[in-house]
Structure 1
């Protein structure tokens, strides 16, 4: 590996850093990557220049969901064959077009990438931070679980969006993720997004499970980032390897993600609170 990770972009003198948002889940199979892709498009529609980073190292699937075949990906960057900026590709016209965004693809089946050392993790984080000079927001689609690379990137991010479904393993593993991130960064801004819900009652139940557990044991309540309804159009779009906005522009789930995009832009999705019980 070489030092190209630290040489990805020129630093404009007046452009502020774009916010880095990690999108996470305690376990796999909860729709995290769909959320990342669809939210990237929705934020772009609101006028933000967005970069989506697929950091699911070794088992990336953003490119699969989009039906694209990148020439370069994160494994080439980590091997010193390309810079982060060189590996970025344009989706739906790229980040300068409304509804388009840039993508830094992840890698497939590269175990050495999935087992990065501390130095490599730090360099990758520094490279992502450098790229934030060129975007309004960077979304990082993390691997599921609580690996050291995942926790490092999440703890260093400006905001963390945790995707959860109404299943015991998702709730339990999601809480473990929140606990470990807050251990690394006690000030971490974390929002809970309930995915594939049948109704508002189910969405509230998912959020309240986190609020009670975090309030009781960690002394804070995470932000409420909204919910996405169960929608057959989502599975159809994934099978068709298309953006949901193109495959089914009237989909209920798409409207939900657009609502979440407004919460993300306003920052209210990540407004954590000191638990009432702790204050008492």
Structure 2
């Protein structure tokens, strides 16, 4: 199962959701691999307080295998860190990374970089499930629709859904989803499901500052509950291996 986490714009909480989802899958016994696919602007290792010796750049350059670059996190998931500030990674062809990830016989959470570059689109098209993160801001909605539109062109039979982040209540998420779903139905001829909503939670920013996973630092908080619900939904509809 390859789950790609995407967004049209930065700053919507995509990486926090990717980390939380990997942790929730680990709690469910899936032993996932979290891959920082934000090519050139990686920060998963920073959010988790890791200090990698090797990273995705080394893997793609053939200097090491995935197993050598992977770090084991105490929360029960593995991390393949990316590399920040790498022009080569930012311009890479995503086909090699797709092939390497497909060789991993386990659940993979791929944190894609924000934007609509060729590599991001290639990686999104290869996913079993594309999770598009959005919030209620008009720019976020516009950019999320752009991601869904291009994904529909690149992978017309691929699965994609929306997660609405930083909501005060679930009704707010339904409104955001309704706007995106209406645009997809009207202009793409397809519906897009609401996969979940992540509520506002002061524990999120506290966890980032502490470089600790949210489900470790605030396991009973509303956002942690929502991330577990998202993981359960994705596992329930996983494509069989």
Per the TM superposition, whether the score is higher than 0.5 is: yes
Equivalent position of 1:69 in the other structure: 51
Write the distance in 2 (CA, Å) between the matches of 1:240 and 1:209.
35
Give unpaired runs (5+ residues) of structure 2: none
Write the distance in 2 (CA, Å) between the matches of 1:67 and 1:246.
13
TM-score calculated relative to the size of structure 1: 0.83
* Count of residues paired in the alignment: 239
Write the distance in 1 (CA, Å) between the matches of 2:108 and 2:91.
23
Write the distance in 2 (CA, Å) between the matches of 1:194 and 1:264.
15
Please report how far the alpha carbon of residue 33 of structure 1 lies from its aligned counterpart in structure 2 after TM superposition: 0.3
Q: How do 1:239-250 and structure 2 match up within 5 A?
A: 239-250=209-220
Q: How do 1:1-280 and structure 2 match up within 5 A?
A: 19-92=1-74, 99-116=75-92, 118=93, 121-131=94-104, 133=105, 135=106, 137-267=107-237
Q: Secondary structure at the match of 1:220?
A: coil
Give unpaired runs (5+ residues) of structure 1: 1-18, 93-98, 271-280
Q: Secondary structure at the match of 2:5?
A: strand
Write the distance in 2 (CA, Å) between the matches of 1:193 and 1:174.
10
Please report how far the alpha carbon of residue 240 of structure 1 lies from its aligned counterpart in structure 2 after TM superposition: 0.8
Please report how far the alpha carbon of residue 59 of structure 1 lies from its aligned counterpart in structure 2 after TM superposition: 0.7
Write the distance in 1 (CA, Å) between the matches of 2:194 and 2:233.
9
Aligned-residue CA RMSD in angstroms?
1.3
TM-score calculated relative to the size of structure 2: 0.96
